[in-house]
A and B are shown apart, each in its own frame.
Chain A
């Protein structure tokens, strides 16, 4: 069961690492991003990046356990949407977090590539007390996005 709290230009969700939670998170995040002025397309990209990040946490940090905590914070700073995901699971070595060769057609390993394509920046940080903090940023306005980021492959 998840808990959510919305405070104007911020949203906080506390969920368990249960894949059944993902649909609810997508709905909340899309609704918040749209309320902050993002286009449907941009909000969709934030939702996809978030979903991929949560999938990685569930699969890798918590190794499939469904009852571990994940904290999700969204906030608007200047013209950017900041998304922070905090887990308390196993840390992946930083050098292991990267996109893979897309010419190698095989299942899996696409999450980080999708996240980097959908967001302007992503940054994994070791969190104090264990686990990982993932910070993802995206401009609220498409025009700002096109001007400043490297979204296109």
Chain B
């Protein structure tokens, strides 16, 4: 069984805050991608992906977020990754995607 990686989705005006929980690996990344892309049907102005509850992510999880980034750019939707752990940050650094994504540890900054 693949439990859903999306813990909660909350809305503040047109900003969707998605709290992701648990390890994101090959076992769960497809489910994450499906849920995140599905959220775009709700036409948010911005998507904030809260990664504070993700202890581990591999390249399949990163690929899901790259897919989301690509789709949000096409739609003119902002995307922010909020509070990744050091371990998760390191995979973005290794793949040099830390300069491609907007990543912050500040909720206020993410919502602005």
Q: Is B66 an interface residue (CB 8 A)?
A: yes
Residues of A within 8 A of B2 (CB): 20
CB neighbors of B among A86-135 (8 A)? 102, 105-108, 110-111, 113-114, 117-118
Check A19/B66 contact, CB under 8 A, given A44-B90, A110-B95, A114-B91: no
Q: Which of A20, A102, A107 contacts B96 (CB 8 A)?
A: A102
Q: Is B34 an interface residue (CB 8 A)?
A: no
Check A105/B97 contact, CB under 8 A, given A20-B27, A23-B25, A23-B27: yes
**Interface range on chain A (Cβ under 8 Å from partner):** 20 to 34
The answer on a CB contact under 8 Å between B26 and A44 is: no
B97 to chain A, nearest CB (A): 7
In the docked arrangement, what's the CA distance between A107 and B91, Å? 14
CB neighbors of A among B29-62 (8 A)? 56, 58-60, 62
Check A107/B64 contact, CB under 8 A, given A23-B27, A114-B59: yes
Q: Which of A20, A44, A107 contacts B63 (CB 8 A)?
A: A107
The answer on a CB contact under 8 Å between A19 and B27 is: yes
The answer on a CB contact under 8 Å between A19 and B100 is: no
Nearest A residue to B33 via CB reads: A107
The answer on a CB contact under 8 Å between B95 and A102 is: yes
Residues of A within 8 A of B60 (CB): 55
Q: Is A11 an interface residue (CB 8 A)?
A: no
Nearest A residue to B97 via CB reads: A105
B100 to chain A, nearest CB (A): 5
The answer on a CB contact under 8 Å between B94 and A22 is: no
Residues of A within 8 A of B96 (CB): 102, 153
Residues of A within 8 A of B91 (CB): 48, 114
CB neighbors of B among A29-85 (8 A)? 44, 48, 51-52, 54-55, 58-59
Q: Is B70 an interface residue (CB 8 A)?
A: yes
Residues of B within 8 A of A26 (CB): 23, 56
